[in-house]
Structure 1
């Protein structure tokens, strides 16, 4: 039976909800498999890898297999990524707290600079996982690409932020959704807008190449 109009939208939305609940359960399982602290990052990479495949329309490969392959292959490297973000974030936080305690003019200037650095840190963090699962580049190039794409495709980054705020409000008012969709819905928001940014970049590159021919 063919579905049209509103019924088709409702059906597709229901499909996505079921898939996101399953993806979230897998994320929780693989996080526990990595003993929690060591499982969060590889499980997150696995989740973004899976969501990217779904967004691209590839649903032939079992979700569990995609997760497992990504978890196994990216275990060490993804934990290194997590350590880098954790250390940089901690240093930024401590520096901001330190400079806020002083009213000295120089410290206030440094505080403003740190807030700008913190904004760049946030942009890099939001775009990092979509970039990480989409491109095959050198390790430190992922951080550079995440920042450059986040700045150059500012509309997508803003939609990531707005989407994250909306999802947080949704969880705030409907806390029963947290166990079911706590991480997968946030990740879908980032991966979806990240993928739109990648397609736009690829389209612009193709147009540039055609104009040179």
Structure 2
């Protein structure tokens, strides 16, 4: 028989699953309403903002209200980052499939991996650190991703395996959890990576996690 603590753990897990589904739906809605070009960046920033506060500090304020606040926090900077990533991705993918030389194709595959690492960590860097210029945020994302390469590989493997399992056995759930799965993996990795940075003495020019992610008090409400 399950103990009371066991039921509490199950309830906490299911609440977390529901919260990620809710965040995923809000991300899709914001991206669609922003016609992709104007919505994906702010939506990704807001998603990273909520996950960072949830995983690192245990803050779980109302999802919708907090997500909307995150979208409005610094939309233009988030849009610029998303445009840079999208533009670079378009060029790299074109070269992968259009280049006549296999060497060029292989180099662009490597560049695509580097771009994927930057895209995974740049919004958490924007949310959780004091790094301000866009080019430094992208550089910091690469520093975190490749500086903690073992965690990046483990997180990527978990995302790929989860995505494959859902695709094979419950493909409709990919729509419900598609963005939430990598967001969860990145949240776990950044929680581990940012912990020693937060404990170390702050020095100019270094990554310095701050407490600007979620200003509302911690609560267990979901909506």
Alignment TM-score > 0.5, same fold: yes
Partner residue, 1:66: 66
- Is residue 128 from structure 1 mapped to residue 129 from structure 2 by the alignment? no
Paired residues of 2:49 and 2:70 also in contact (CA < 8 A): yes
1:36 shift after superposition? 4.0
Closer, same or farther: CA 115–26 of 1 in aligned 2, 3 Å: closer
Paired residues of 1:127 and 1:190 also in contact (CA < 8 A): yes
For 1:89 and 1:119, the matched residues in 2 are separated by: 10
- Is residue 152 from structure 1 mapped to residue 147 from structure 2 by the alignment? yes
Bigger radius of gyration = 1
- Is residue 26 from structure 1 mapped to residue 26 from structure 2 by the alignment? yes
Which of 190, 207, 216 is matched with 1:194 structurally?
190
List per-residue Cα deviations over 1:69-112 (Å, max 9, x = no partner).
2211222221111110111122222333344x23xxxx73x554
Scaled by the length of structure 2, the TM-score of the pair is 0.77
Scaled by the length of structure 1, the TM-score of the pair is 0.80
Runs of 5+ consecutive residues of structure 1 not aligned to the other structure = 207-213
List per-residue Cα deviations over 1:144-203 (Å, max 9, x = no partner).
100011111112211221121022113202113123222223211222212211114445
Three-state SS of the structure 2 residue aligned to 1:197 is helix
For 1:127 and 1:162, the matched residues in 2 are separated by: 16
- For residues 1-213 of structure 1, the aligned pairs below 5 Å read 3-4=4-5, 6-55=6-55, 56-59=57-60, 61-99=61-99, 101-102=100-101, 108=103, 110-138=104-132, 139-172=134-167, 173-203=169-199, 205=200
For 1:155 and 1:74, the matched residues in 2 are separated by: 31
Partner residue, 1:209: none
Aligned residues: 196
For 1:201 and 1:154, the matched residues in 2 are separated by: 17
Three-state SS of the structure 1 residue aligned to 2:4 is coil
For 1:30 and 1:119, the matched residues in 2 are separated by: 26
For 1:25 and 1:114, the matched residues in 2 are separated by: 32
Runs of 5+ consecutive residues of structure 2 not aligned to the other structure = 202-223
For 1:11 and 1:168, the matched residues in 2 are separated by: 23
Choose between structure 1 and 2 for higher RCO, CA contacts under 8 A separated by at least 6 residues: 2
- Structure 1 runs, 4 residues or longer, greater than 6 Å off: none
For 1:43 and 1:182, the matched residues in 2 are separated by: 14
Alpha-carbon RMSD = 2.3
